[in-house]
A and B are shown apart, each in its own frame.
Chain A
Amino acid sequence: AAGVIQSPRHLIKEKRETATLKCYPIPRHDTVYWYQQGPGQDPQFLISFYEKMQSDKGSIPDRFSAQQFSDYHSELNMSSLELGDSALYFCASSPGLAGVPEPHSNEQFFGPGTRLTVL
Chain B
Amino acid sequence: DAKTTQPNSMESNEEEPVHLPCNHSTISGTDYIHWYRQLPSQGPEYVIHGLTSNVNNRMASLAIAEDRKSSTLILHRATLRDAAVYYCIFSGGGADGLTFGKGTHLIIQP
Interface residues of A (CB under 8 A from B): 31, 33, 35, 42-50, 55-56, 58, 90, 92, 94, 96, 102, 104-113
Contact = CB atoms under 8 A, between A and B. Distances in A.
| Overall SS of chain A's interface | strand
Contacts, number: 78
Size category of the B interface is 20 to 34
Nearest to B46: A107
Contacts of B91: 106
Interface stretch (B17-25, B37-45, B75-83): B37-45
Interface of B: 32, 34, 36, 38, 42-46, 49, 51, 87, 91-103
| Overall SS of chain B's interface | loop
A42 B96 CA distance: 17
Contacts of B95: 31, 33, 48-50, 55-56, 94, 96, 104, 106
A48 B42 contact: no
